[in-house]
Structure 1
Amino acid sequence: MEPRRQMGVAATMAVVTGESIALGIFLTPATMAKSLGSPLLLAAVWCGMAVVALCGALCYAELAVRFPHAGGEYVYLREGYGGRVAFLYGWMSAAVMDPGVAAALAVGAVPYVQSLEGLSSHAARFLPALFLLCLGLLNYIGTRLSSRVMATANLLKIAVLFALVGWAFVSGHASMGNLLPLASRRPGSEAWFAAIAGATVNAFFSFGGWWEAGKLAGEVREPRRTLPVAFVGGVLVVTSVYLAVSFAFLCVVPMERIVSNTAFVAQFGSVLFGPAGGKVLSGCVLLSVAGGLMAMTMAAPRVYFAMARDGAFFPVFGRIHPRFGTPANAVLLQTAMAMLALCFGAFDRILAYVIFSAVCFLALSAASLFRLKRPVDRWWYPAAPVVFLTGSGVIALLVLLHNPLPALVGVAVVLSGGLLRRWFTPANLASAEAAEPSLS
C-alpha cells in the first residue's frame, strides 16, 4: 500500500516556509546586526544566502520531480551513491538530527507559553512532551488533516510577521533614519572576518529546512508542477520575510541599542506595544515555533518509512495505516525518539556534533544531479548546483574552523551507522551493493 497523494501547493510550500521561519526569525537578525554593525552588510549576507538557498531549491526541485517518493535526501543519496551513503544519512536523521530538532523547538516554545499564561515551572516541564504528543497524534490520523493544519498555521504566521512589519511603520515607531549610515560599521562590531563568518553561518541555518518538502514528495499531488513551485516559491517567501522583519527591527531599535538577541525581542515588543509588548511578541514567537515544529514532525518520519521500504530498516516502519493512509509507525518512532531526546536533555549539544555532517549530506544530495543518466536540461544547470555546492562548502569549512572537535566527533557518529547497517536484512543489502545505483 502506497501513501495517498493529498498535498497541494499551499501545504507543500508551508513545509518549506514552516521549517525555515521558526524561532530564529526573532533572534538571528539581532545577533547578525550586532556583529556586522552595518545595515548594508546585513542585507548583503541575507541576499547572498538567499541566492545559495534558491540555487539549492532549484536542485532539490529537480531531484524531487525525478524521484517523487517519500524520503527526500535519503532517496536522492540512494539513487546517486547507493544504499550505504543513504543509510548513513538515515541513521543520522533517525537517531540524532530529527529528534533533536523537534525536542529543541518544543523546549524553545515553553518560555513564550509561560509569558502568556504564567504557568508554574512544574507544569511547564510537561509542555514539550505534550506538544510532541499532540503533533504525533495529528500526523498519525491523517496527512490531509495535518497538512491543512500546518498550512493554516504557517500562512497565519507569515501574515502576522508582515502585519508586524506594517504596524512598525504605520504606528510611527519605525524610522528609516535608524539605518543610516547604511555602509558604516557601528562601534563595538566584531572583526570583519569573524563577523561575516558568524553572520553567514547564522543566515544559512535560519534558511535551513526548506529542503524538507522533498521528504513528502510521495504524498504531493501533481509533483511535476507542485514541487518546483513549492521549493522556489517557498524560498522566495522566506527571503522576503527575513529581509522585511530584519529591517523593521532595525528601524524600531537602532543597532547601537541592541544588547543581546533575547533582550532584543523584549525591546522591540515594548517599543511597538508598550507594557503588553512582551505578550504580543511571545504570541508571535510561539506561532512561528509551532509552524516550524508542525512542518518538521510531518516531514521527518518519511525518511524512516523510505528506509524500511528499502529493507534497510525495520519493516514495521514501512507500513501504511489501512484507515488513515499515513506512515503511522514511522510517525510513532519519530515521536518516541523526540520524547527520548527530552529525557536526555542534551539534544542541543548533540545537534552541535551533527551539523557539519548534515551540511555535507545536503551538498552530496545536490551533487547527485551530476550523476544522473538522463542529463538535466534546465536553464539554470549547471550554474545552480555549482553555486549551491560552493556555498555549502564554505559553510562546512566555517563550521569546521569554528569548532573542529564536535564536527569530527559528529562524523564519527555518522560513520558508526555503517556497523548498524549490517543488522538489517543482510541478503537485501548484499544484493543492493552488487547493483549499480539506478539513476534516472
Structure 2
Amino acid sequence: MTGSPADPPARSRPRLTVLPLIALIFYDVSGGPFGIEDSVRAGGGALLPVLGFLVLPALWSLPEALVTAELASAFPTNAGYVAWVSAAFGPAAAFLVGFTKWASGTLDNALYPVLFLDYLRSGGGLALAPPLRSLAVLALTAALTYLNYRGLHLVGLSALALTAFSLSPFVALTVLAAPKIRPARWLAIDVGAVNLRGYFNSMFWNLNYWDKASTLAGEVEEPRKTFPKAVFGAVGLVVGAYLIPLLAGTGALPSETAAEWTDGFFSEVGQRIGGPWLRVWIQAAAAMSNMGLFEAEMSSDSFQLLGMAEMGMIPAIFARRSKHGTPTFSILCSATGVVILSFMSFQEIIEFLNFLYGLGMLVVFAAFVKLRVKNPDLPRPYRIPVGTAGAAVMCVPPAVLITTVMCLASARTVIVNAVVVAAGVALYYGVEHAKRRAWVEFLAPVPPPPDSSHGSTTASDAADVEDVRAGLLADEPADEAPPRSHSA
C-alpha cells in the first residue's frame, strides 16, 4: 500500500455525488438498527428507547446535522471540523479536537468486527474460541482496510448497495410482525431494571457522528450544494431505520423479553417472528452493515488526518495519496488503532468513545456560534435560517445531552479520557517542536487567526477566517504541484 510518486490531481479523482454521500453519512451515523438492542435492556423495556428515538433526533441529531451542513458548505475541505475550530479558536484547539475525535472514531471502528462476530454467534450461530476470534478480527480489519485503500468512490458506491441490503430484512420483519404487534408493549417499562448510564450511552452512540462526513467534503462533487442535500436525506433515513424495526420487534415480542435485548438480538427477533431464514438474512445484513460502518468510519478518520496534514498540523506524509486517491499512511494509522483497541468490550468502547466524542462536539458547537458572531458575512451556501441568538439556543439541547452522558461516565472512563487529552496536548507540542526543528516535512500551514487577546477588530477577525478558508480551499491548483514544505 504505497503511494505513487505524485498524488493524483484533484480533477482526475472520481467525486462523491448525493446518493453515495447519503449512504456514507448513513453509515457514519447508523448503518441500520444493529446495535440499538442494548437501549431496550438498559431502558427496562420499550418505552424509553421508543421515546428516545422519537425525541433525541430533534434535540441532538438535527442540530448536529444542521451545523454540519452549514459549516461543511462554508469550508468544503477534508479538514472538516478541524478547519471550523481552527478558524474560530486557532490551531492548538483545532489540533486537540482533531486528535480526540480521531481517537473516538478509531474506538468506534474497533466495535464493528466485534459486532460482526456477535451476530454470527447469536441465535445458536457460529461461536469462535478466543484465539480464533482474535484472528478473525485481524482478518476482517485487514480486508476492510484494503477495500478502503482502493478508493473513496468505490467505498461510496459500495455503501449505497450495502444500505439497500442491510435494511431489506427489516422490511420483511416489519411486514411479518405487523399482525403480532400489541401497541401496549411499547409502553412497557421496568423502572428497577433501568440503567441510565447504559441507556444514554447507547442512545448517544446510535445518534452521533453527523459531523464525521465533513472530512470528506473535499472529495464531493459541488460540495456547497451536495452536502446539505445529503445531510438532510440521511437524517430521515437514519430515524426510520431505527424506529420502524424497534417498533416492530418490541411490539411483536412479549415485554418480558426486554432483558434479552443485547447486541446481536435482532437476529433472534427474526428467528421468533419469521423463522430461521429471517434470522440468517438479518445476520447476513448485519455482516454487510458492519462492513459499511467500518468503511465509512475509516474513510472519515483517514481523510481527517489528510486534512490536518494539508493544514500543516501533522507531518506531510499523512497527506500522501495512493494511486487510488486515498491517504495511504492515514489509513494505515487508523487501521493500527482499530487492531489495538478491538480487544475491549462493547460497552467499554461505547462509553470511552462517547466521552471523547462529547468533548470534541462541545468545542465544535462553540466554534459554530463563535463563527456566527466573529464573521456573520462568511460565505455560507447553506445557512441555518436562524440568527446568531437562535443558533446559540439551538446548540443548548445537544450540549445538555453531552454533559449528561459525560456526568454519567464511570471514574475509569474519566481517567482514561483525561489521559487521552493529556496525550493530545503533549503530541501537539511535540509536533510543533518537530516542525520548528524541521525533523520531518510539513506542508505550509494556513495562517492562523491572531490571539483575540491582542484586541483584533471584527473586521480583521473576518479577514482571518477568510484567510483560513481561502488557504484550505487553495488545494485544487496546488494538487498538481509539488507539496509546499514548511520552513522553520
Q: Same fold (TM over 0.5)?
A: yes
* Residue 228 of structure 1: how far off its partner (Å): 0.6
* Residue 296 of structure 1: how far off its partner (Å): 0.8
Distance 1:73 1:108 in 2: 28
Q: TM-score, normalised by structure 2?
A: 0.77
Distance 1:418 1:272 in 2: 52
From the superposition, tell whether residues 291 and 163 of structure 1 become closer, same or farther in structure 2 (CA, over 3 Å).
Answer: farther
Equivalence for 2:62: 54
Amino acid at match of 2:22: M
* Residue 60 of structure 1: how far off its partner (Å): 0.8
Deviations 1:115-146 (A, max 9, x none): 69847535443222222222221222222212
* Residue 332 of structure 1: how far off its partner (Å): 2.1
From the superposition, tell whether residues 64 and 5 of structure 1 become closer, same or farther in structure 2 (CA, over 3 Å).
Answer: farther
Equivalence for 2:384: 378
From the superposition, tell whether residues 424 and 210 of structure 1 become closer, same or farther in structure 2 (CA, over 3 Å).
Answer: same
Equivalence for 1:360: 359
Distance 1:38 1:144 in 2: 39
CA RMSD after TM alignment: 3.1
The answer to which structure has the higher helix fraction is 1
Deviations 1:261-299 (A, max 9, x none): 238435412222334454333223223222211211121
Equivalent runs, 1:147-296 vs 2, <5 Å: 147-169=156-178, 172=179, 174-175=180-181, 178-180=182-184, 183=187, 185-186=188-189, 188-190=190-192, 199-262=199-262, 264-265=265-266, 267-296=268-297
* Residue 239 of structure 1: how far off its partner (Å): 0.7
Equivalent runs, 1:34-113 vs 2, <5 Å: 35=43, 37=45, 39=47, 41-51=48-58, 52-94=60-102, 96-113=103-120
Deviations 1:18-67 (A, max 9, x none): 132248x244246336625464x543321211102112101110000000
From the superposition, tell whether residues 354 and 248 of structure 1 become closer, same or farther in structure 2 (CA, over 3 Å).
Answer: closer
Mark the runs of 5 or more structure 2 residues left unpaired by the alignment: 1-6, 437-443, 453-460, 467-488
Contact 1:252 1:271 in 2 (8 A): no
Mark the runs of 5 or more structure 1 residues left unpaired by the alignment: none
Contact 1:74 1:86 in 2 (8 A): yes
Distance 1:381 1:228 in 2: 18
Amino acid at match of 2:236: L
From the superposition, tell whether residues 430 and 304 of structure 1 become closer, same or farther in structure 2 (CA, over 3 Å).
Answer: closer
Amino acid at match of 1:20: V
Deviations 1:406-430 (A, max 9, x none): 2254134213312211222444789
* Residue 114 of structure 1: how far off its partner (Å): 5.4
Contact 2:308 2:314 in 1 (8 A): yes
Contact 2:78 2:217 in 1 (8 A): yes
**Range moving further from structure 2, 419-428 or 81-90:** 419-428
Contact 1:80 1:371 in 2 (8 A): yes
Distance 2:217 2:95 in 1: 19
- Secondary structure in structure 2 of the residue aligned to 1:411: helix
**Range moving further from structure 2, 259-268 or 139-148:** 259-268
Deviations 1:151-186 (A, max 9, x none): 2112322333334323322xx4x32xx222765x54
2:154 to 145, 164, 171: 145
**Range moving further from structure 2, 385-394 or 25-34:** 25-34
From the superposition, tell whether residues 264 and 421 of structure 1 become closer, same or farther in structure 2 (CA, over 3 Å).
Answer: closer
Distance 2:425 2:100 in 1: 11
From the superposition, tell whether residues 370 and 147 of structure 1 become closer, same or farther in structure 2 (CA, over 3 Å).
Answer: same
Amino acid at match of 2:142: L
Contact 2:169 2:278 in 1 (8 A): no
Distance 2:339 2:405 in 1: 32
**Range moving further from structure 2, 413-422 or 214-223:** 413-422
Contact 2:155 2:296 in 1 (8 A): no
* Residue 81 of structure 1: how far off its partner (Å): 1.3
Deviations 1:235-271 (A, max 9, x none): 1111112111110011211323323223843541222
Amino acid at match of 2:369: F
**Range moving further from structure 2, 298-307 or 257-266:** 257-266
Equivalence for 1:396: 403
**Range moving further from structure 2, 292-301 or 119-128:** 119-128
1:31 to 39, 59, 70: 39
Contact 2:84 2:367 in 1 (8 A): yes
Q: TM-score, normalised by structure 1?
A: 0.85
- What is the number of equivalent residue pairs in this alignment? 426
Equivalence for 1:18: 27
